[in-house]
Structure 1
């Protein structure tokens, strides 16, 4: 018999606005975000920082949704993209997703894009920003 996966420890009261309390009334599928404990989060952030290709980024984006229900949107900003800050990385609001995690995931993706700028160039190219270059 297998033991259930360890759930993430709750944030201290007043330190986070994750809405973990709201998950008690939601379906089991909505509670899967709680499976992202500290150790799992570190592995996820490490994997996001070590992006190898745009396909790898899309695959991780899909796995985030499939496994945890996290919707991640990545696109060039409305203005010029001169640095990785010009790429908009947003997470949909989701009860149970910690404030620190909401900030850490986009930061890890930006670090991954800075380490491997070819991925960023391919991302810009898929949005047809480099067609005249």
Structure 2
């Protein structure tokens, strides 16, 4: 018997723009994102909130891509960076990624950066924003 991993429960109709049904109907579609159940999403948010270094954050970004297909870019915004809100966290377009997840992951990353501000400084330095400081 072929056992499939549990898939995320569908959002109530009309509340989300994830296009989950389209993804399930498409032959050969990448269904990795649907493996992110609510329980697994909670674990991911906890890990993102407890990052210890920029390398740890980059490793989590890589693992999210490998395991779920989530492409996430984290960079300083084009305007001034005065708080963690000044760091842009963007997702690549991906069917199946729930609207709530698109909000929860950046919020968890920002909470992690607030707990460990030196990670934000390393991120700014990696983008050469602190060269004159």
TM range (shorter): over 0.9
Structure 2 length as normaliser, TM-score? Answer: 0.95
Q: Distance in 2 between the 1:116 and 1:56 partners?
A: 12
The residue number in structure 2 matching 1:57 is 57
Aligned-partner SS, 1:89: strand
Gaps of 5+ in 2: none
Matched, 1:27 2:23: no
Q: Distance in 2 between the 1:62 and 1:113 partners?
A: 18
Stretches of 4+ aligned residues off by more than 2 angstroms: 1-4
Aligned-partner SS, 1:119: helix
CA deviation vs aligned residue, 1:11-46 (integer Å, no higher than 9, x gap): 110111100011120425x11110000110000000
Structure 1 length as normaliser, TM-score? Answer: 0.95
CA RMSD of aligned residues (A): 1.2
For residues 8-27 of structure 1, the aligned pairs below 5 Å read 8-23=8-23, 24-27=25-28
Aligned-partner SS, 1:74: strand
* Structure 1 residues 27 and 108: CA distance shift in structure 2, 3 A: same
The residue number in structure 2 matching 1:118 is 118
Gaps of 5+ in 1: none
The residue number in structure 2 matching 1:6 is 6
Q: Distance in 2 between the 1:6 and 1:55 partners?
A: 30
